[in-house]
Structure 1
Amino acid sequence: MQSHKACATLLISSLGLSPALAQTNPGDAVLELDLAQLASIAVPQSATITPTTARRLPASVTVIDRQMIRDTGARNLFDLLETYVPSFHYLPHHWEAPHMGMRGLIGDREDKYLIVLNGRVLNERTHFGAMSERDLPMLDDIQRIDVVRGPGSVVYGPGAVSMVINIQTESFGNNSGDAATVKLGAVETFQSLELKKGLAFGDPGHGLLLYAGIAAYEGADQDDAPMVYGNSFTTSWGQVIHAGEPTPFEVPDNHAAYRDQAKIKLHADYQLGDFRAWLRYTRGGEALTWEHKSFGTKPIGSAKPGTPQSAIPTQGVGYQQVTLDLSQRWVLSPSLSLELKGGYDSFDYERAVSSVNTPWTPVENHREDQFLLRATLTGQASETQTFAAGAEYSHAKYGIASPGYPDTPAYSTALGLMPEWGTSAYGIFGEHQWQVSDTLTNFLGLRIDKDDYSEWMWSPRWALVFAPNERDTFKSVLSRSVRKNNAEELRKQHLGGATSEPEIVQGIELIYQRSFSRELRMDLSTYYNAAEVIGFDSTTLASNRVADFTYGGVEFELSYKTDDLRLSFSQSYLRLDDFNVEPGARQKISVAHLGYGNDLSNWSNSMTKLAAAWQVHPDWRLSGDLRVFWGYAGSEYTTQNTNDINDGLAPGPFSTTAVSDRGYTDSFQEAAFLDLGAQYQVSRQGSLSLNAYNVLGWFDEQYNKRMYLINVSNYRTEAPAAALTYRHAF
């Protein structure tokens, strides 16, 4: 029983419950709560279904709290996550929205990870994947973000093969206070306004939180954020591009909003005891810069000579999403509780891109609607064993005309004009947690998913957590996660009479955590994964295995935190072990199988990150962060191989055009991003912050380069910029 009480104390203190609970003495009544009662307390669970302590979570999880968000002055989730999360990186793309990657897994779709908000997956399913929330500069509604590094399908279902980004918004019960926040960005120009208001309805736990955010995002122009191509060539209108030099003509502003539309976030969160309902609307997206093939003449591109720059269509991707989520928890007995969760989600996707073949591709636009119902039963089998089991059903409708283009039928590159269709998906899941002894905890979990157009998908996990003393924790995790093709590909395959196979990532992770003191902690994670990558063949209408590869990595973290000072450091390293490609498969993951190095393309094998915040005075707080990516060897090998193919020096699986001049290596060198910030408490209610971004670019702009996915010889410099933020609490 003493170990049970210790578990309860640790659960309360480590997961940030109210101060009253966190400071409860061992003899207080809270320690008499059983695990089912503890589960009824609103504690975010990002890596398990059953309740547990942060120390015993069977995964590597990075927690970003409200203060950490404010310290960075982050303008979006891309930079915020890249600041704090080991092995996380993002890259832009000429044809799609920017791409987030974790532990080497990054692709031209965002369907290898999930964005989850208050327990609800927000991914777009027709074409792209995780898209909403990421680009919005309005972040004052977020309470915390948990990033589960590594496979997570056992908890969240298909798509969580690389990570899960779990966002917890503020609610009426944990509102940090009514406030208004104004941000003004210079050089990378933007303006944003956020308003937050809580309304109490008399009874404790009964109220409504209202939030509204809007931003105009103009971005940074070519002078401050140069676009650089790795090829020397002539444009269709006669200008000469030199490899490694900024383009001599204007390109779309970096990070400019899609179609110059305002970015919007609206949120209403209602609570009545154990019932919660929230309604959320977001709109965002950004302009895209052209790939060299779009306006280069042969042999670099297929643009017709004499075509003026003004004739090249504006490129960009945009979205709007509305989500209604309802949840109710019932305590059936002291050892059993039931939660029902359901709701509706509508996602509108738009993409305008240029193509050298047609000659221009029509604007892609389509909407999808989803209805969801999930039931989860959580219980305590004995004093040392808890379990959770549940089932999930969703029905999605696809091919609905986009409300953003009301006169245009739904259209995609894969399907052309889209008919309306619908599919259902089913999932069952369970987890058993057994506290074998005071020092050893065992987790067994399994999730099984089935889509009307897919095969059965299995996601098991077995984890052991050993805590021999108060300072040391050892964890071993065996897991298997899956990803299915997007809905447009599943539909096309279904019409061809085939059923889709899932993509699989399975592996082992070993974690060691050491608390040297209350202030200083070390985390060391090492993992080894095997990935079976699938792709869709539009000719055969089949999901084919593209490549099998194994890879591993190490993540080292140190964190130090006192009342006045917070420091965090991480160093991550990844290495490709073995890479095999199916005969005739087209892939841009690596060229290791052809004898060019042993690295993943589109990835930096070594990453260093440092973040700090110092309350130097009751009214002054200083902050800063540094991210260094120590080169992109795999991308350099990819360009070398492609050039060898074109020069007849190496065989290739398919023909291609040159991707860089011989000897050009600028894009593949190290990149570094340094941000600095200062916050001043103007009054009891008001605070003023000044943040400087990408400071190293003032000394050498090449430090701030961000390589493009797939077109790896191209890069865009992130502009050295600043933002002023005023936040007033009411």
Structure 2
Amino acid sequence: MYIRLLIILINLTIISFPSYAEDETTEADREAIEFLKGLKLEELVEVEVTLDNVFNVFDGLIKARKVTIATGKEQTTDRAPSVTTVITAQDIEATGATDLDEVLEMVPGLHVARNRAYNPIYIIRGIYSTFNPQILMLVNGIPINRLYFGNKGAMWAGMPVANIARIEVIRGPGSAVFGANAFAGVINIITKTKKDIEGTEIGTRIGSFNTQDAYILHGGTWAGFDIASSLEYRNTDGHNEIIDIDAQSHFDNQFGTNASLAPGGVNMQKRNLDARLDISKENWQLRSGYQGRRNIGTGAGTGEALDPIGHFTDDRFNADLTYHNSTFTENWDVTAQLSYFQTRYNTNNQTIFPSGAFGGAYPNGMIIDTSISERNNRLDLSGFYTGFKKHTVRLGIGYHYGEMYKIKHYTNTNPTTGFPIQNLMDISNTSYSFIPEGSRKNWHVFLQDVWNLTPNWEWTTGFRYDNYSDFKSTLNPRFALSWQPISKFSTKLMYASAFRAPTFSELYITSNPVHKGNLNLNPETIDTWELAFNYHVRNNLHLATNLFSYKWSDGIRYVPGASKGIFIADNVGIQKAYGLEFEARWKMTKKSSLLANYAFVKASDENNKHDAGNYPQHSAYVRSDWLLMPNWFLDTQINWVSERQRAFGDSRSPVDDYTTVDFTLRRKNIKKGHWNFAVSVRNLFDVDAREPSQGPDSNGVINIPYDLPLAGRHYWLELRYHF
């Protein structure tokens, strides 16, 4: 016990002294010593844990973090042959984030925008598109992008964070490792295992917009197996920010009617259920998960006309079995993985235009209800070989079969005459259905070599070949040269190419009245150069900078077809960009830290010699953490978004800049470490923040001219219990 007391006294001394004045005694030191004197010996274990947690919160910001996403093997972010960011569960807890979208705003150069359904658009380095298929989303290293739009799902409705152990992000291309859609970036969400939970934790949260959250996590051992499980539930009405003018407003002006529901609030309700199970023993790991989304609101409306009635449902199920043996043979580290991912979404009473639309032709509104099921099967085999001197070689092969099936389409517009009808008509499995069923097969092989030229120089080479059943094959290389002349400084020069696969909607849609697919599409491609620097100036200060440029070719755009008003998908887009990202992590004292990043990007639409539009040219994020007193933490976040130009053909003024401020106050380790309480205020100053709405249609009309308003000031209260 006396040894434990000595350790605690040493920790108190280290933590209490500021790093820039370690020979001075502060008032905080004296308070800590008095606090220790008043404790009973049996309480010392609790104090040790508390102070150790305090140290980890701040010190973890400065130390070089480990990442696996860049090469498949754990290495520091400084040496990884990609520009990477790692966000830990401690970061998520400290900032008070409750959803993945809030977490990702921490990443330099990543901005979370919104489309008309208020689904998130993850913009990295100026690469913006409505459905966002240029970002590869992974859960535990397995893709969850869908075939229809190529993204994480048209009805995403958020992802809770209580069961996230960490998030790894590549800013830039990753197709040499991950294949399709690892284009602008890769986001890998890693869920918690038994060692991350160790016991049982329950939590509940209430907040603005009639929001209720509850979750339970458990990590333990049963019959020799390591078990981790989670169950999270969320129900909310969502924010109700006002849309002043919508698409129906313009039709009202044309027909002399008053059918529009604008001004009116956006429809942001949702009810989410997330469940996961992780079972592992020795070299085997079985994981499964379910994400149920119910009563998902339509945002600003599917047709950009307010729709308070329609809603979506979405079900996602995943399972994977992984075998990993790091000592398969003397020189081989082998992994085999079989995975399955199934989804189904459908719309319910989706009202494209409200009651009385088109001069009263639709007394109950124009309704289109659809549903799509998808399933994806994957088998991946890979291994690291270390039998060559100074080389670590990785080989891999894999197969993917994806299928889109059980497509349903109902409408109250007669597809033959184009006139309204009273009841919904089932036009599934006809030539009028919005898209036919289909499948895609893909096999790939990749090779990667990490060559340690000298103790200070490292050369990484990688190639991946993908062969698809519905478009041509692709070969994507990457090269990276890393130099670390001294232990505190490193630099990397990198080149990589990547591709984005054409989506099923771009290939196969035939009955849409405006947009048509094209069976002859090629994948989008991007070539990127990056130069990155990492400098650990002192033990309490880390600086990182990277410069980049890219050329995005064969961008899939909709161009005028042979018939008036019809637009056909085609590989015509070209975008070029350059920019920089800067990050600083500073442990100001043992009780405070500061994280700041700034990003600049200039992207141009080469077809029209115009700014690419809709992305922030400048963005910055600042986060500070303070230990106010033993076990009381205050986290402040400032998010600045600036200079968002409009895309070509959109004559509106640039989107207004905004700066939001969030506060989270947390009391930890209540009642011997079991309880944890927090209160958070988001958008503290009630800033009118907006994301760009869609530009003019083929008739030059901008349906929602004043953009998409984000939530104003709101709050939540949280209580956690761990045992």
- Tell me which interval the TM-score lies in, with the shorter structure as reference length: 0.7 to 0.9
Range 381-390 or range 132-141, more displaced: 132-141
Cα displacement (A) at 1:153: 1.1
Mark the CA change 1:439 to 1:481 in structure 2 (over 3 Å): closer, same or farther. Answer: same
CA distance in 1, matches of 2:486, 2:302: 58
* Selected match of 2:320 from 319, 325, 330: 325
Cα displacement (A) at 1:570: 0.8
* Selected match of 1:375 from 369, 381, 389: 381
What one-letter code is carried by the residue in structure 2 that aligns with 1:76?
D
Mark the CA change 1:534 to 1:694 in structure 2 (over 3 Å): closer, same or farther. Answer: same
Q: How does 1:498-577 map to 2 (within 5 A)?
A: 498-532=519-553, 533-535=555-557, 544-561=570-587, 564-576=591-603
**Secondary structure at the counterpart of residue 148 of structure 2:** coil
| 1:606 aligns to 2:615 (yes or no) | no
CA distance in 1, matches of 2:432, 2:145: 20
What one-letter code is carried by the residue in structure 2 that aligns with 1:344?
Y
* Selected match of 1:468 from 485, 506, 510: 485
CA contact (8 A) 2:147 2:402 kept: no
Which residue does 2:333 correspond to in 1?
Answer: 337
CA contact (8 A) 2:600 2:619 kept: yes
Which residue does 1:212 correspond to in 2?
Answer: 231
CA distance in 2, matches of 1:415, 1:725: 50
* Selected match of 2:278 from 269, 282, 294: 269
Mark the CA change 1:410 to 1:340 in structure 2 (over 3 Å): closer, same or farther. Answer: farther
Which residue does 2:264 correspond to in 1?
Answer: 250
What one-letter code is carried by the residue in structure 1 that aligns with 2:234?
A
Q: How does 1:689-728 map to 2 (within 5 A)?
A: 689-697=678-686, 701-702=687-688, 704-710=689-695, 713-728=706-721
CA distance in 2, matches of 1:129, 1:414: 26
Which residue does 2:352 correspond to in 1?
Answer: 354
| 1:226 aligns to 2:215 (yes or no) | no
Mark the CA change 1:73 to 1:342 in structure 2 (over 3 Å): closer, same or farther. Answer: same
Which residue does 2:402 correspond to in 1?
Answer: 396
Write 1 or 2 for the structure with the bigger share of strand. Answer: 2
CA contact (8 A) 2:164 2:191 kept: yes
CA distance in 2, matches of 1:413, 1:567: 59
CA distance in 2, matches of 1:130, 1:449: 21
Cα displacement (A) at 1:91: 2.0
Mark the CA change 1:517 to 1:403 in structure 2 (over 3 Å): closer, same or farther. Answer: farther
CA distance in 2, matches of 1:423, 1:45: 28
Q: How does 1:34-183 map to 2 (within 5 A)?
A: 45-82=68-105, 84-95=106-117, 97-131=119-153, 135-136=157-158, 138-175=160-197, 177-183=199-205
Which residue does 2:637 correspond to in 1?
Answer: 625
5+ residue gaps, structure 2, are 1-65, 412-423, 511-515, 696-703
Mark the CA change 1:496 to 1:269 in structure 2 (over 3 Å): closer, same or farther. Answer: closer
Which residue does 2:372 correspond to in 1?
Answer: 366
What one-letter code is carried by the residue in structure 2 that aligns with 1:452?
S
Which residue does 1:651 correspond to in 2?
Answer: none
Mark the CA change 1:621 to 1:528 in structure 2 (over 3 Å): closer, same or farther. Answer: same
Mark the CA change 1:487 to 1:132 in structure 2 (over 3 Å): closer, same or farther. Answer: closer
Cα displacement (A) at 1:615: 2.0
CA distance in 1, matches of 2:538, 2:592: 15
Alignment TM-score, normalising by the size of structure 2: 0.78
* Selected match of 1:668 from 655, 663, 668: 655
Mark the CA change 1:292 to 1:384 in structure 2 (over 3 Å): closer, same or farther. Answer: closer
CA contact (8 A) 1:455 1:501 kept: yes
CA contact (8 A) 1:137 1:215 kept: no
Cα displacement (A) at 1:670: 0.8
Identity of aligned residues (%): 17
What one-letter code is carried by the residue in structure 1 that aligns with 2:676?
S
Mark the CA change 1:390 to 1:423 in structure 2 (over 3 Å): closer, same or farther. Answer: same
Structure having the higher Rg? 2
CA distance in 1, matches of 2:387, 2:338: 27
**Secondary structure at the counterpart of residue 101 of structure 2:** helix
CA distance in 1, matches of 2:593, 2:526: 35
Mark the CA change 1:485 to 1:689 in structure 2 (over 3 Å): closer, same or farther. Answer: same
CA contact (8 A) 1:316 1:353 kept: no
How many residues are aligned here? 611
Cα displacement (A) at 1:237: 8.3
Range 273-282 or range 713-722, more displaced: 713-722
CA distance in 1, matches of 2:171, 2:637: 20
CA distance in 1, matches of 2:637, 2:518: 52
Cα displacement (A) at 1:491: 4.2
**Secondary structure at the counterpart of residue 584 of structure 2:** strand
What one-letter code is carried by the residue in structure 1 that aligns with 2:465?
I
Range 408-417 or range 85-94, more displaced: 408-417
What one-letter code is carried by the residue in structure 2 that aligns with 1:385?
H
Cα displacement (A) at 1:461: 0.4
Mark the CA change 1:294 to 1:280 in structure 2 (over 3 Å): closer, same or farther. Answer: closer
What one-letter code is carried by the residue in structure 2 that aligns with 1:605?
Q
**Secondary structure at the counterpart of residue 197 of structure 2:** coil
**Secondary structure at the counterpart of residue 70 of structure 2:** coil
CA distance in 2, matches of 1:291, 1:675: 29
Cα displacement (A) at 1:148: 0.8
CA contact (8 A) 2:368 2:409 kept: no
What one-letter code is carried by the residue in structure 1 that aligns with 2:314?
Y
Mark the CA change 1:569 to 1:621 in structure 2 (over 3 Å): closer, same or farther. Answer: same
Range 719-728 or range 190-199, more displaced: 190-199
Which residue does 1:657 correspond to in 2?
Answer: none
Mark the CA change 1:566 to 1:373 in structure 2 (over 3 Å): closer, same or farther. Answer: same
CA contact (8 A) 2:118 2:300 kept: no
Which residue does 2:421 correspond to in 1?
Answer: none
5+ residue gaps, structure 1, are 1-42, 242-246, 296-308, 582-591, 641-659
CA contact (8 A) 2:137 2:152 kept: yes
Mark the CA change 1:426 to 1:492 in structure 2 (over 3 Å): closer, same or farther. Answer: farther
CA distance in 1, matches of 2:427, 2:278: 32
Cα displacement (A) at 1:537: 6.6
CA contact (8 A) 1:69 1:80 kept: yes
Cα displacement (A) at 1:67: 1.1
| Alignment deviations for residues 515-571 of structure 1 (CA, whole Å, 9 cap, x no partner) | 011221001111000001123679689752222121111111111246533321111
Q: CA RMSD in A?
A: 3.4
Cα displacement (A) at 1:449: 1.1
Cα displacement (A) at 1:265: 0.4
